[in-house]
Amino acid sequence: MAAAPDLDLRHIREAHERIRPFVHRTPVMTSASLDALTGAKLYFKCENLQKAGAFKARGAHNAVFALTDEEARRGVVTHSSGNHGAAVALAARSRGIAAFVVMPSTAAQVKRRAVERYGARVTLCEPTQESRESTAERITAETGAHFVHPYNDLRVIAGQGTSALELIEEVPDLDVILCPVGGGGHLSGVAVAAKGVSRHIRVIGAEPAQADDASRSFRAGRIVAAGNPKTIADGLRSSLGELTFALIRAHVDDITIASEAAIVAAMRLVWEIMKIVIEPSAAVPVAVLLDRALPVSGQRVGVILSGGNVDLDRLPF
């Protein structure tokens, strides 16, 4: 097994200094009702209230602002069906450079409008991983723009980990942190940050049962591809990358799964009880806790609510 990539708490702290002027320090919320329903003491890190509506703003800003002036000069390019594209567009605007975002033709109109609102140029592609990548490569070749991967990039991962850094600063004695896992950029960054602060904080990934490739990869010791998973948690359909997988193996304690029904029920409950809008991906760790699929009774649990971008015309409940 290869050594874990060179990423530690120092990089997360550097990322935090770098992005602080451009992103929100999101609030940590609590809920007596959800504590009662789960039997734990929950601390919700509200990345749904982050700029552009998701934690992705953290990694995108770190990646974009870590570029040298020479690297940044011709702009940045990425591919994304949603939150990462908007985050890169916003970060590029913050730096005053161009952004090119490749989106599948099937992406929700509301997500495309968000990317365009931040001033990025959108190029549509076929809804396959191959088409995304080849289109992004073509744009890179044509424009000389710098490619920013949605998750398999150490600067992106370091940026995402700042969400956990802030959570731990506010609630120092957490027993566990739960974080959704798709491509693994957020979970691996959170794990590096949390374990860097204290080996005693357990870090657990939460994944839809219908897209459990990260869980299977974690157990198999090699990356198992996601295929084309059918889950409502549209932010969690990607496969792990080489970098995120290595970091997850090195630093994450376990990955748990939740059913589609549990995800929808958890999403609705958070809206109803906490009065905040979270997207299905963000509901996955809450679903794990409501199902009591994890033994955390009486413990202090950090829950990362990863995003709040939903199409209000197509609610699942």
Applying CB under 8 A, the residues found at the interface with a second copy are: 27, 29, 48-49, 53, 268, 271-272, 274-278, 308, 312-313, 315, 317
Task: Give me the least distance between CB of 261 and a second copy, in Å please.
Answer: 16
Residue with tokens 């219908």: 210
CB 249 within 8 A of CB 269: no
Q: Is 304 helix (H, G, I), strand (E, B) or coil?
A: strand
Long-range contacts of the stretch 32-36 (C-beta < 8 A, 24+): 33/273, 34/269, 34/270, 34/273, 34/274, 34/286
Residue type at position 94 = S
Between 25 and 200, name the residue whose CB sits nearer to a second copy: 25
Between 142 and 169, name the residue whose CB sits nearer to a second copy: 169
- CA 305 – CA 283 distance, rounded (Å): 7
Between 53 and 208, name the residue whose CB sits nearer to a second copy: 53
CB 92 within 8 A of CB 120: yes
Task: Give me the least distance between CB of 48 and a second copy, in Å please.
Answer: 5
CB 265 within 8 A of CB 232: no
Task: Give me the least distance between CB of 311 and a second copy, in Å please.
Answer: 9
Buried b (16+ CB within 10 A) or exposed e, 197-221: beeebbbbbbbbbbbbbbbbbbeee
Between 48 and 239, name the residue whose CB sits nearer to a second copy: 48
Between 138 and 268, name the residue whose CB sits nearer to a second copy: 268
Task: Give me the least distance between CB of 260 and a second copy, in Å please.
Answer: 18
Phi, psi angle pair for 206, to nearest 5°? -130, 130
Chain centroid to Cα 92, Å, comes to 19
- CA 126 – CA 138 distance, rounded (Å): 14
Task: Give me the least distance between CB of 72 and a second copy, in Å please.
Answer: 23
- CA 203 – CA 254 distance, rounded (Å): 7
CB 238 within 8 A of CB 151: yes
Q: Is 162 helix (H, G, I), strand (E, B) or coil?
A: helix
Between 40 and 277, name the residue whose CB sits nearer to a second copy: 277
Task: Give me the least distance between CB of 278 and a second copy, in Å please.
Answer: 8
- CA 35 – CA 221 distance, rounded (Å): 34
Between 126 and 272, name the residue whose CB sits nearer to a second copy: 272
Task: Give me the least distance between CB of 81 and a second copy, in Å please.
Answer: 18
Between 48 and 215, name the residue whose CB sits nearer to a second copy: 48
Task: Give me the least distance between CB of 268 and a second copy, in Å please.
Answer: 6
